[in-house]
Structures are given as structure tokens and as C-alpha cells.
Structure 1
Amino acid sequence: MPPPSPAGPAEPPPPPPRRSRTGLIAVLSAVLVLVVAAVGLVVVRPGPVAGWLGARDNDANWVDTTTDPPPPPVLAAIGDSAPMPTPEGIRTLIGDLVTKSGLGERVNVSVVDVATGQSLYAQGADVPTVPASTTKLVTAVAVLATRGPAYRITTRVVAGSAPGEVVLVGAGDPTLAINGIGSYPGAGRLDDLANQVKQALGGTAPTKVTVDSSLYSGPVYEPGWDADIPTGGYGGAVTALMTDGARLDPKKSTKGAARTPTPDLTAGKSFAKLLGLPATKVTRGSAPASTAPSAAPTSTAATDGTGTVEPGTELGRVESPPIIRLVDFMLGDSDNLVAEALARQVAISRDQPASFVGAATATKAVLAELGLPVDGTVIADGSGLSRSNRISPALLAEVLVLAASGNRPELAGLVGGLPVGGWSGTLDERFRVKASQSGAGVVRAKTGTLTGVHAISGLLTTTDGRLLAFAILADKVPFGTDQAHPILDRIAAALVTCGCR
């Protein structure tokens, strides 16, 4: 998210000294054990996770052991025997922190016990609020529910209608790399795709590259985005074909990196270069109508007997990392273009247009199917960049309860993708001051920031070992990030210390 304009002093105080991470390892490890065990999950191996994360049937190092007896769990479930805080106790603990925090006139909060689903604290919990990037939590649960954690997005090349024409068909993979220097680990690569095309064509040289990004429709920027989003590096044009999240330089993988305004053409020009063609040979267009994907491209493409490749023949394909990894990328670094791509996967899975509107319609429908409270919810995009979004703290908390409960195992990837306080992702530098240090290594949460909007929503384990879901949304904050974030962190950290009985 773009940082809001600070309203504090011109020279903010220096950050606190960075603590050694070795001191957090033991705490973090213990908390991860509690989180995984408390939600009723167990860690076993080998299982399907290896396949989700990249192991394939044709990997030389991958061994199929599915016929072996199931191994014992590494982590045993602890159930819900830890004492649950009382609503009165939590109100006493954080009531003043919420109502007298100075975060503005709208500070809406929900705290829920994961094991029972009982609401423990509600301050405007049902009020639809501008959620900023905590919107990504609903995007995550929707795409995991519809596509599943193992699904991969396939980018293909097919023969075009004109002699020597190859068509690069975008399917919505934002992580696609040009070569081995990419922004996302494990991404499919254009250089691999180019080699497949050359092999499939044999001695026939390609003459032009057509890029087909027609899978997506509608505007490439959501109307509710701030004016600086397209050029500020925190968002970008949403197209079905792009490389490295539309970054101009894949090595600059931070959210503020410069983005190309035409990701599909930029990807096509990179592909053309790999095929030995100039950028002038790249145009937008459509693949032939008969381009239904085959099981795998052949080593030499079929021809019509004259050496001409039949239009629509698949010449190559590469796959994205699995959805569970894309969710990690989205949540960990608050990657907005990955979020928009995942939202469109929800739309496609529900036969909706792959647009902002189609993705929003499909996402809300999936949330309702999951039994989540969607009354009053307005979804405009998948990333939370839009100020048109309205999501209640209660919905966010219930999303987290569902993902952490163990009742829908395919949703558990959301929990693993959350940044950890004082340790990783967007929480790397948070929970590092005395007032909130109890949350370091214990709070796992998604943050949200727009000018005047500050939010945090996630999971934490109390001092008694009880797993809680929480959401704190404030969308009329009168000051900037440097003042707002410590207040949010302090509220979450207070819940960690809770005996609250």
C-alpha cells in the first residue's frame, strides 16, 4: 500500500534499535506450534504439500511414498482446553485503548475465540468500514475455496493464423518471469517457453508475436483507486499477461518499484527478443478460436503437410507457482497485483467476467457460500486499494476463524501466509517497541494502510494459550502512519497478554 502523507513532525524519531532475530526464533517456533495445533491441524509428510510447492511427477528428486503407512503427526492438537478470556475481561483490558486511542471517530473492532466462534469484544464490529489491504484476507479465502491450494495458472503459446505467427496467451499469472532473475520464487519463465516454441517449430522461424490478454475485461485501473496508484509503484495496470508483477526491473521487487503501463505488450516484447524478433514485431490480438489446451505440447508441432503449423496448435506452456504460494506472496508483502490476479481467478472459477466487477461479484458470492456474514459488504477490488470497499471487522474475524478452525483444510494456507509480528513481511518492523513487544512472534496479521485508513486483522495466542481472531479497522484517522501503527500494535499486543477472566 502507498504510505499515507504523515501528519506528524517533519523529522520522525529514529526507529528503535533492531533486535536480534535469534531471540525471536524460540518464541516464534512455540507460537507456530500453538497456532497449528490449536486449529486442529497436524503436520505430516510427505502428503500433498510437496506437490503444491513444486514437486512434480517428473522430478528426479521426487519420490512417491503414498503407499507407505501414514506417518504419525509431528504436532499434536491441543484442542480448546486453554482458558478462554471473558468478554468483560477483554473489555477492561482494551476498551480504553480502542475508544481513547485518538484513531478517530470510527474505530471498529471484533475479537473472536477461534475454537468456539464466540464474540469476545465488539465495537462497531458489524459496521462496513474501508478495510484497505485487509481486503486481501477475503480474496485469499475466496481463491483458496474456489481454486484450491494446488491450482496453477498456465501461460501458453499457440500457433497464430498467419504463417510464422506465435500467440502468447495470458491466463492471469502475475508472477511470470522473463528468465532466472524474477521477482517471485518458482515462477514460470518466458525463456523456458521460448525454448519450447523453438523445439516445437523445428526449423521454422517465427515471424511475429501476438499477445492475447483478452481474458481480462473492463478497466485496467479500478475507479476507486487514488490518483497516484497507477504511477506510484504500489499498483499498476491489471492485465491477463504480465511479467514480474508488471515491474520494469524484476530485481526491484519492493512494492514501490516502477511498473509498466502496458504489461501485456512489455511481456510480448521480452518474449519476442527471446525468439530473436524485434519489438516492432509485437502486436495485440487474439489466438485462433481452436486453442483448447492439450495435456502437454508435443516436441514438434503438427503441420498441414506443407510445413505450416496448424493455427491453434499449442507450442509451449509454463505454470505459475501453486495458489498457496501466490497467497503467500499476496499476504506477506501485501502484493496488490497478485491480489487482483487472484480475485480474477475467483471470477473465472464462477463463470464471471475476469474484471473488477466480475471478481467482486464472485468473491462476495463465495463468501456467502462459506456462511460468512456479508450483509452490507461492498467489494470493489481484490487488493484493498479502492476506497469503495466496505468490509466489517466481524467479517474479517470470521474469515480468520474459518481458515484457522481446521473445518476447511484447503483454507489453512491463509494462516501460513500471514506476516508475523516483528519478524516477516509487512509486520517485519512492527511490534518492536516496549509497548507492543509482547506481540512479537505471536501476532500473525494482515495490515492495511491508505491515507486516513489504518487496519490490522489476524490471529494471536493469549498468554494462556487461547487462539483469538481479531480485526481493528479505523477509516477516519486524523494522523499518519508513524502515529497510527503503534496504537494498532499496542491493542493487538494487549490481547496477547490477556488472561482476562
Structure 2
Amino acid sequence: MSDMTTQTAAALFEPGGRRRHRKPRQHGTGMRRALVLAMAVPVASVALSGPSAFAAGKDTGATAKTATLDADDQQMVTNLETRVVDTRLGSNVSGVVLDAESDATLWDHNGATALMPASNVKLATATGALTVLGTDHRFTTKVVYGDGRLTLVGGGDRTLTSADLAELAKTAVDGLKAAGLTSVKVAVDDSLFPAPSLANGWNTGYYPDSVAPVRALVVDGHGVDDTSLDAGQVFAQQLAANGVTVDGAVTRATASAHDVPVARHTSAPLSDIVHTMLKKSDNNIAETLLRMTALGAGRPATFEAGTEVVRQVLSERYGVSLTGFEMYDGSGLSRADRIPAATLAEILELLTQNRYAQTLGSILDGLPVSGEAGSTLGPEWGRFDDAHSQCAVGKVHAKTGTLTGAIALSGLTQGKDGKWKVFSFIENGSTANANDIKDAMDGLAATVNGCWA
């Protein structure tokens, strides 16, 4: 979606331009949670170890609201009850549909059951990163010099390109030549991210293709075992192309505090990076953001610290239920991850509130759109292309999730009544062809939209 589209959507999400505080919601048909939180603002370098880090008052005496369905919603619910038992989806499937305007849960089918969510985990990762680091946060890659050595220092920029390294090399060469130096050693410093570089629950077949071992330095998204040395070798080649002799092989070293800064590159803002991550479902960006989120909260850049910070952001900042929530990585590749559909719907429902638009707007903007070429809901992936779901092309904004044995689709769409609905569908264990399962999922989203009546 364009920025203009995002602004229009936000206005449609907010009837009258305001939203009352929400009350805690129980997972179940006709029940809806409510948020009672302080204004959402980016939180930079906040330690989350204390209970007051994301403190917000809560109206614990509130009661949840029961839905009263109009004719359109009743038809949608009737259709969902029939279509959720589609044999393509198997027997282990869950789903939730929320109404963004009425505070009601319109439909719930095992919504509190924690299932393997695949890449829907990225919704939690993005929420944590944007909240802790802020939308304008940028990642910095540096070159420093000392003792005859240039050190390329990784700063967690997963979008670094060879063109960026070429600019760093050119600046470094200009400095070397000005100092009368024609040869130099080259090292890489990726100490920002400690070991381990592989998450609990990753199959060996996932890396380095689906996800590379997580390091603080990478170039052009290369899927290799050691992305840091790979980036250093590209940097060394560019130094040589600019007339400087590289002495020996690229090594790994830790930059000294006495090293002289030579060059630096800053990434695009985090909002742009999140947009790309969601559109493409980029596993490597997600894992890097998880590590950087931990650092931004004053924690070590590990899987464990990153997931703990995300949990605290969701629960303490936004009031999202974490019952059954198990997160071991940032991408959703971990087969140990478990998230209920109801929790994913709660995360997405934050996007319908104007007070979070500045912080979380790039999540809404980054959600793939049904039929959008170049996204994970594009025609190249066979999405929204059958007789039942084609009617919803351009009308569904949702995050996909696909692993062997787990397919998910969670997002937003305007219902037949013109009101925005938030939905989440997850299946685990279906033995049907993956494309057939996705067709069934797309059909559920078209049902929520109301075009498949």
C-alpha cells in the first residue's frame, strides 16, 4: 500500500476519529478484549527488566462485551462454520474474527489453541522492534583503522548492499592514500551478536538458504554460513579495485577503542525495513531485528533476550494475552513456536487504533495485499486465484505463514457491511497439498470480506 492508502485506511479504522479504552478480553465467541494503555511512543534504549518499563493502568473491574450479529455478520459466521471444516485444512485448525468497530469477537473456532504459527511470528517481532527502537531508527556499519588494519564493524544492518560497501571502501581508500598507505590488512567485527547463531527449533535444512546463521554483518542478503567473513571479502575486493593491496586473508577481530573511524553507512529507517520484511516475509531481517530489539532494550543480542523483550512489549505495553504464547526466534521458522490465533488477532487489532498508527503504521503498510505481485500474496505464489477467493483480490491485507505442517493467514479486511474485520487462521498437520491448503485459507479470508457469501 502507498502512504496515502495507509492514511485512508487508518481513518476508516477509526469511526469519529477516536476509540474508547478497551477492557480485557477473554478468548471465545462473543468476547472481546479491551486495551487500557498509555499513548504508544517509540521507546529507545529502555531496559525492560523492571515491571515499570511499559507500565500502564488497567481497569480490572471491566467486563467483556458480547457480540450482537447483524445479518451480514451472521451469514459470515454461518459460512465460516461450514468452510473451516474443509478437509483441505485438516482437523487441527483454529480461527478468530474480530470487529474493529463494535469491540466484539464475531467468530471463534478454537481461537485460544496455541498452534505453530510459521511466519505470523513476524507480526510480534515487528511490533517489538518498532516499539523499542522507534520507526526512525537506523543501523550503522562502520570502518575503523588501527595498527595497519581496516576493520569492517557490523551494526545489524541486514539490508547492507555491495554498493554500500563500495562507498565505504572508496572513502577508506581515500583516507589511506592521503596517509601515504598502499596496503592494509582487513578484518570483520561481528561481536555485536553473541553465539549461538542458530535458534531452537530450526531444522538443519533451513540454513543457510531459508535463514542464515544470525550475525551482525551481511552483504546483499547472501545465504552463506558465515555472512560476516563473506561481507569482509566483498569489502576487500572493493579495496583492491580502488588500488589498495589487501595483505593476507580477511580475518575476524574485535575493533579497538583506539581505532580511528574511517567511514560509516546508515541504513534506511526501521519503518522501511519492517515494510520490506513483511512484504517479502524475509526471515533474515526478522532475526536481525529480534537481536537489535534486545539491544535497544538494554539486553544482550540473543534469541532468548529478544523474545523476552517482545513478550514484555506485547503484554505490558499493549495488553496482548500471552496465554499459550511460545516464541523462540524472530522469523517463525522455529518448529517450537506456538501462538494462538486469538493472540495474533489481538496484535493485528492494534493497527486499527489511531494512537498506535505512528509507531505501528509500517506493519499495516507492509502487510501483503491479496493479488499484490512481489508480495507473498501475489499471483506468483498462487494466492487468491481460485473461483471462491478471486473476488477478494485487492481487499485483504494479511501476513502469510508457511512451514511443512503449518500454514497461517492473519490480517484485516473490510466486511460486506463496510466495517473492518481482523482475522487469524492457522492450521497444523494437514496432509493436503500446500497449495490446496492455501486456497482454503484464502477462501476463509474471502468469506470474512463477504465477497464469497
Q: TM-score range by the shorter chain?
A: 0.7 to 0.9
Shift of 1:412: 1.1
Task: Report the equivalent of 1:237.
Answer: 213
* Equivalent pair of 1:84/1:466 in contact (CA under 8 Å): no
Residue matched to 2:137: 151
Deviation sequence 1:364-397 (CA, Å, 0-9, x none): 1111122111122111000011101011111111
The total of aligned residue pairs comes to 389
CA change 1:315–1:402 in 2 (3 A) is: same
Are the counterparts in 2 of residues 158 and 316 from structure 1 also a CA contact under 8 Å?
A: yes
Partner amino acid, structure 1, of 2:179: G
Are residue 35 (structure 1) and residue 9 (structure 2) matched? yes
The match for 2:367 among 418, 432, 435 is 418
Deviation for aligned residue 1:200: 3.6
In the aligned structure 1, how far is the partner of 2:324 from the partner of 2:393? 34
Deviation at 1:91, TM superposition (A): 2.2
Q: Classify the secondary structure of the residue corresponding to 2:402.
A: strand
Instruction: Select the residue among 127, 142, 166 that pairs with 2:128.
Output: 142
8 A contact 1:141–1:403 mirrored in 2: no
Q: Alpha-carbon deviation of 1:198?
A: 2.6
Which aligned pairs between 1:398-413 and structure 2 lie closer than 5 A?
398-409=346-357, 410-413=359-362
Shift of 1:408: 1.0
Question: Could you tell me which of 142, 150, 154 is aligned with 1:170?
Answer: 154
Map Cα deviations across residues 288-320 of structure 1 (whole Å, 9 max, x no partner). 1x2xxxxxxxxxxxxxxxxxxxx3221111011
Q: 1:195 aligns with which of 159, 170, 183?
A: 170
SS in 2 for 1:109: strand
Percent identical pairs in the alignment equals: 33
1:360 to 1:29, Cα distance in 2 relative to 1, 3 A: closer
Aligned to 2:281: 334
Where does 1:57-456 land on structure 2 (aligned, <5 Å)?
88-160=74-146, 162=147, 164-179=148-163, 189-201=164-176, 202-205=178-181, 206-231=183-208, 233-245=209-221, 247=222, 259-276=223-240, 277-278=245-246, 280-288=248-256, 290=257, 311-369=258-316, 370-409=318-357, 410-424=359-373, 425-429=375-379, 430-456=383-409
CA displacement, residues 77-125 of structure 1 (integer Å, 9 cap, x when unaligned): xxxxxx9777644321211111344412211111111234421111111
Partner secondary structure for residue 427 of structure 1? coil
Unaligned segments of structure 1, at least 5 residues = 1-24, 43-82, 180-188, 248-258, 291-310
CA distance in 2 between partners of 1:144 and 1:480 (Å):
36
Check whether the contact 1:110–1:122 (CA below 8 A) recurs between aligned residues. Answer: yes
The AA in structure 1 aligned to 2:184 is T
Mapped contact 1:117–1:401 kept (Cα < 8 A): no
Partner of 2:248: helix, strand, or coil? helix
How well do the aligned residues superpose, as a CA RMSD in angstroms?
Answer: 2.5
Tell me which amino acid in the other structure corresponds to 1:362.
V
- SS of the equivalent of 1:218 reads coil
Q: Confirm or deny: 8 A CA contact 2:200 2:329 kept in the other structure.
A: no
Write out per-residue CA displacement over residues 124-162 of structure 1, whole angstroms, 9 at most, x where no aligned residue: 1112110001111111111111112111101111223x2
8 Å contact from structure 1 (residues 154, 173) kept in 2? yes
User: Is 1:84–1:113's contact at 8 Å kept on the other side of the alignment?
Assistant: no
Equivalent-residue separation in structure 2 for 1:227 and 1:357 (angstroms):
20
CA distance in structure 2 between the aligned counterparts of 1:31 and 1:97, rounded to whole angstroms: 31
Q: 2-side partners of 1:151 and 1:84: how far apart?
A: 44
Which TM-score applies when normalising by structure 1? 0.73
Deviation of the 1:226 alpha carbon = 1.9
CA distance in 1, matches of 2:119, 2:344: 12
